[in-house]
């Protein structure tokens, strides 16, 4: 495939990138600015996407035939534009489920056992200052976990939480898919009953600001919220108010409504908040697996095959 040019919006795992570079002409974007991606896409036949594409990225990209999303969420790709131009789009469903679930479990323990705060006090002020802090910590066993979204992450997390002795409830647009011992409930009931709330749903028109001021009125003051979905699922000012007023006990946010964050945002001043820069699905293991799968998918498409992970198969006709 010497005449095929493939754009990487970001580097992928070195082994997968080296494998792809032997078969195609590889172009790695020097940055992810809209103008950069549009200019590079114009001369490429395919791309592997790890950053948000501009909505008009395909307007000058007459050669573009295939787009592989290096991950699951399709909000990074202007799907309607791709489909209207006959561009095949594929993603990697379930590719980082284990990594995200492990992040959520780590965040639950960090928030409920305050391990980060205790470590800091121990180092700065000593044993006697740190040890009494454990008196305010709570165990997860016996608590209610409320999961918003019951896809691969929601299902895997539910199984792990059950082993920890938690009762699991979920809010999903497809309650008929929920299996015992998990119970499907409406959103208000989930917020009212849950000790730990995990957002694991896609960002759509229906889920935009799903967690807002009126919804947060139902939450327990001791509950914690963990967002591994997308930032705009949460109305950030409403969340900040709930945290600062003590109406919510804490939060772990891996995704953010307006990113990247600078450190000056109000959320940094809120109590009992764990912030990370959209890395829940990123581990060495997950990156390697996703990159190899992305390359496999792209090579299959270039060979004229129709992989099962194509999301707009209607373009094949």
Calculate mean pLDDT across residues 156-178: 97
**pLDDT on residue 273:** 96
pLDDT of residue 259 exceeding 90, the answer is no
Domain ranges of the chain: 5-95+284-316, 97-275
Q: Quick check: bond before 260 cis, omega within 30? A: yes
Could you identify the residue written with the tokens 């799907």?
79
Taking alpha carbons only, the member of 15, 179, 200 closest to residue 99 is: 200
**pLDDT on residue 2:** 66
CB 173 within 8 A of CB 204: no
Residue 317 pLDDT level (bands cut at 50, 70, 90): confident
Taking alpha carbons only, the member of 136, 139, 155 closest to residue 147 is: 155
CATH 3.40.50.720 correct for 5-95+284-316:
yes
Record the pTM. 0.91
5-41 pLDDT tens trace: 999 999 999 999 999 999 999 999 999 999 999 999 9
Taking alpha carbons only, the member of 313, 71, 310 closest to residue 202 is: 71
**pLDDT on residue 1:** 67
pLDDT of residue 137 exceeding 80, the answer is yes
Decide whether 5-95+284-316 matches 97-275 in CATH topology.
yes
Q: Which CATH class is domain 97-275?
A: alpha beta
Taking alpha carbons only, the member of 18, 12, 46, 27 closest to residue 303 is: 46
Residue 76 pLDDT level (bands cut at 50, 70, 90): very high
Calculate mean pLDDT across residues 39-47: 98
Phi, psi of 3 (to 5 degrees): -95, 5
State what percent of residues in the chain have pLDDT above 90.
97
User: Positive or negative, the Cα torsion across 13, 103, 243, 120?
Assistant: negative
């Amino acid at each position: 495939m010497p005449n095929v040019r493939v754009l990487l919006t970001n580097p992928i795992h070195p082994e997968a990138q080296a494998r792809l570079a032997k078969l195609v002409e590889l172009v790695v974007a020097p940055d992810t600015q809209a103008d950069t991606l549009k200019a590079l896409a114009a001369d490429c036949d395919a791309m592997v996407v790890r950053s948000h594409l501009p909505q008009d990225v395909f307007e000058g990209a007459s050669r573009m035939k295939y787009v592989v999303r290096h991950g699951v969420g399709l909000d990074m790709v202007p799907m309607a534009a791709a489909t209207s131009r006959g561009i095949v789009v594929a993603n990697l469903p379930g590719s980082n489920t284990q990594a995200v679930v492990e992040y959520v479990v780590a965040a639950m323990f960090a928030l409920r056992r305050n391990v980060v705060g205790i470590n800091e006090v121990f180092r700065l002020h000593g044993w006697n200052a740190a040890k009494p802090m454990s008196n305010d910590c709570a165990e997860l066993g016996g608590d209610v976990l409320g999961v918003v979204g019951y896809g691969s992450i929601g299902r895997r997390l539910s199984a792990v939480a059950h082993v920890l002795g938690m009762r699991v409830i979920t809010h999903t647009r497809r309650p008929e898919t929920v299996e015992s011992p998990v119970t499907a409930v409406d959103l208000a009931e989930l917020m009212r009953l849950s000790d730990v709330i995990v957002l694991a749903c896609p960002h759509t028109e229906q889920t935009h600001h799903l967690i807002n001021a009126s919804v947060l009125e139902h939450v327990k003051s001791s509950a914690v919220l963990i967002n591994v979905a997308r930032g705009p699922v949460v109305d950030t000012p409403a969340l900040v108010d709930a945290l600062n007023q003590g109406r919510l006990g804490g939060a772990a946010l891996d995704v953010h409504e307006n990113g990247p964050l600078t450190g000056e945002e109000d959320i940094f001043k809120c109590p009992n908040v764990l912030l990370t820069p959209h890395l829940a699905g990123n581990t060495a293991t997950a990156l390697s697996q996703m990159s190899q799968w992305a390359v496999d998918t792209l090579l299959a498409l270039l060979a004229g095959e129709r992989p099962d992970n194509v999301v707009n198969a209607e373009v094949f006709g």
